[in-house]
Amino acid sequence: MNRLFRRIERRFELSACHPSFLTRKIPAGLSYLHCFGGLAFVLYLVLLLSGMLLSVYYLPSEQEAFRSVVAITREVRLGFLVRGMHRWAGHLLLVLVLLHTVRVVVQRAYLPPRELNWLAGVFILLLLLASGFTGALLPWDQKAYWTTVIASGIAGTAPWAGETFLQLVRGGPEVGGATLLRFYSLHVLWLPFAINLFLWAHFHMVKRLGIKGGL
Ligand code: HEM
């Protein structure tokens, strides 16, 4: 493996082109607890890749959505595996992000000068939760439908903005085809775009300030 890396390095000279990325100083006292953020990122990549594969077969319409998910699970080659990977990567990502957040809290890494990185993290967490919520409707089965009816209904009871929020989320008075299309668009375009933007800011700040060491 080492010989292979040396060979690639001789040709590409990656360490010379990206010295700040490949030869970064890290503080003393790092432990396995500092791996949760990196592991969460790996799972996020699995989520993106499996989502891109699912989007090749998924049909976001009232008539076709359920049937296309059944076809992905039963007929498409390895479809069940890709769907399972997407589902489990989503669940595990939330677990890892929470563990990562606990590490940051215990180590007080949210204090200045890292307060903006904490804020970026909070936005990422909210956007991830929104991704889970919008993704849950996409199988378009009974569980998906009623989860969205109940959850959006609860949000709709909020004072002042509740009713407007309900209309905006559902795209009409009831959960239907318009809601499915809105959730699909949010799930595959708007939310990943926003998450990528905040992740870029998150990593930029980690790079600039370094990791807080010693636990
Ligand atoms: C997909 C979600 C996330 C990913 C992939 C991610 C990734 C990372 C990585 C790789 C680091 C470098 C150090 C480490 O791994 O501990 C880091 C640092 C940090 N993260 Fe996250 N993170 C995520 C979400 C969050 C959330 C939800 C919060 C808090 C609300 C947060 C707050 C922070 C802070 C404050 C640091 C700096 C810690 C330090 O300097 O020691 N992150 N993150």
Residue 215 has pLDDT above 70, yes or no: no
Helices (H), 107-161: 115-137, 142-156
Q: Whose CA is nearest to atom 29 of ligand 1?
A: 121
Question: For residues 125 and 127, what is the distance between their CA atoms, to the nearest angstrom?
Answer: 5
Q: Which residue has the higher pLDDT, 54 or 8?
A: 54
Q: Whose CA is nearest to atom 43 of ligand 1?
A: 37
Q: Which residue has the higher pLDDT, 4 or 215?
A: 4
pLDDT of residue 164: 94
pLDDT of residue 161: 94
Mutate which of 125, 199, 200, 202 for ligand 1? The one with the most ligand atoms within 8 Å of its CB, which is: 202
170 CA distance to ligand 1 middle (Å): 33
pLDDT bucket at 24, cuts 50 / 70 / 90: confident
193 Cβ contact partners less than 8 Å away, ≥ 6 residues apart:
none
pLDDT bucket at 115, cuts 50 / 70 / 90: very high
CB 83 within 8 A of CB 54: yes
Q: Which residues line ligand 1 (CB under 6 A)?
A: 34, 37-38, 40-41, 44, 97, 100-101, 104, 109-110, 114, 117-118, 121-122, 124-125, 202, 206, 211-212
Question: For residues 45 and 157, what is the distance between their CA atoms, to the nearest angstrom?
Answer: 36
pLDDT of residue 43: 98
C-alpha angle 171/177/179, rounded to 5°? 35
Rounded to two decimals, the pTM is 0.91
The residue count of the chain comes to 215
Q: Which residue has the higher pLDDT, 17 or 65?
A: 65
Rg (CA), the chain: 21
- How many other C-beta atoms lie within 10 A of the C-beta of residue 202? 21
Atom of ligand 1 nearest to the CA of 93: 1
43 to each of 15, 20, 88, 95, how far by Cα in Å? 26, 25, 9, 11
Across 51-70, average pLDDT? 98
| C-alpha distance across the termini of the chain, in Å | 32
Query: What are the structural domains of the chain?
Result: 34-208 (1.20.810.10)
Give the model confidence (pLDDT) of 122-156 as tens digits.
999 999 999 999 999 999 999 999 999 999 999 99
Query: Which residue shows structure tokens 């009232």?
Result: 62
Share of the chain above pLDDT 70, in %: 100
- How many other C-beta atoms lie within 10 A of the C-beta of residue 39? 16
pLDDT of residue 69: 98
Residue 203 has pLDDT above 70, yes or no: yes
Q: How far is CA 213 from the centre of its chain?
A: 26
Across 81-103, average pLDDT? 98
Q: What is the DSSP letter of 172?
A: S
Residue 213 has pLDDT above 70, yes or no: yes
